[in-house]
Amino acid sequence: MAEIVSGKQVAAAYREELKAKVLTLKDEGIKPALTVILIGDNPASHSYVKGKQKACQEVGIVSNLIVKSDSITEEELLQLIDEQNNDESVHGILVQLPLPKHINELKVIERISPYKDVDGFHPISVGRLLTGQDTFVPCTPQGILELVKRQSFEISGKHVVVIGRSNIVGKPVSQLFLQQHATVTICHSRTKNLKEITLQADILIAAVGKAHMIDGSYIKQGAFVIDVGVNRLNNGSLTGDIDFDSAVEKASYITPVPGGVGPMTITMLLANTVKAAETLHTEKIS
């Protein structure tokens, strides 16, 4: 029977550490600040942004929210980002995705200063991650690695299987574990014989978006199972990509949904904002 890894608990401990860092920065006259830009009235986006603002307040990060209607033009949004790039009191910038169809997401991401790219989606951040340099790492992958490390689960030499190859989860999480000297296999919708591969995983990361797709028969005895998926069932409740009841019998550690990867994701956004404030401060005094 697996140990259930509470992302809530790990996140709470991590946020205490961040609070202390924020206080130190404030003593040096720096008030870490995050600007979130929200376009349109997508209820899920509004709810995510609310969660991010609340988390900022909890650790003492200033959170600026800019809300614009989805009639905003691409050029107006780019100008808004320029203003935030040039504002010295702002350390991190996040544009909540998805954006309305008439706006080119990649263009918007590329406009954010790589110094303020707390989501870690800018191609410069992605390139730095790939080449093993210090950078802003996307929040969900960073949160996943932290969850595994804090259980003192050995990563080096282990086989990590990632299901999903998105730019925000699958690809960056694969890079992070590769850097930790794991052997990494990435699976996706065209992968053949998925079960044969997942049964080799010492660490299995499911980031697909299909409720209960992976049951216990896909899991090697003793594996560390990380469920990234967030799927809403007809009854309104949230569930992961892993069939928890059968997986818990095979795994040695498992993350629940909700309360697993989710709280870690927001916490890493806070961590990246603190890192941005520290970095910009260091560059200014050096």
| Residues with a known catalytic role | 52, 96, 119
Give least dist CB 192 to ligand NDP, A.
10
Q: What mask, x for binding ligand NDP by CB under 6 A, covers residues 235 to 274?
A: --------------------------xx--x---------
Nearest to 270 by CA among 78, 63, 48, 42: 63
Contact between 114 and 272 under an 8 Å Cβ cutoff? The reply is: no
Give least dist CB 280 to ligand NDP, A.
26
| Member of 19, 128, 150, 165 binding ligand NDP (CB under 6 A) | 165
Distance from first CA to last CA of the chain, Å, rounded? 52
| Member of 164, 224, 243, 277 binding ligand NDP (CB under 6 A) | 164
What single string gives the DSSP state of each residue in 214-274? Answer: B-GGGS-TT-EEEE---EE-TTS-EE-SB-HHHHHHH-SEE--SSSSHHHHHHHHHHHHHH
Total residues at interface with ligand NDP (CB under 6 A): 25
Rounded distance, CA 281 to CA 88, Å? 10
Q: Output the CA–CA distances (angstroms, integers) from residue 3 to 70, 108, 224, 250, 260, in the order listed.
A: 44, 41, 9, 11, 12
Considering the complex, state which of residue 60 and residue 263 has its C-beta at the smaller distance from ligand NDP.
263
Q: Which stretch binds ligand NDP (CB under 6 A): 25-33, 78-86, 183-191, 214-222?
A: 183-191
| Member of 32, 92, 120, 170 binding ligand NDP (CB under 6 A) | 170
Q: Is 208 in the site for ligand NDP (CB under 6 A)?
A: yes
Considering the complex, state which of residue 53 and residue 166 has its C-beta at the smaller distance from ligand NDP.
166
Task: Looking at residues 48 to 87 of the shown chain, list those that interact with ligand NDP (rule: CB under 6 A).
Answer: none
Rounded distance, CA 274 to CA 268, Å? 10
Contact between 113 and 93 under an 8 Å Cβ cutoff? The reply is: yes
Interface residues with ligand NDP (CB under 6 A)? 140, 163-166, 168-170, 187-191, 194, 207-210, 228-231, 261-262, 265
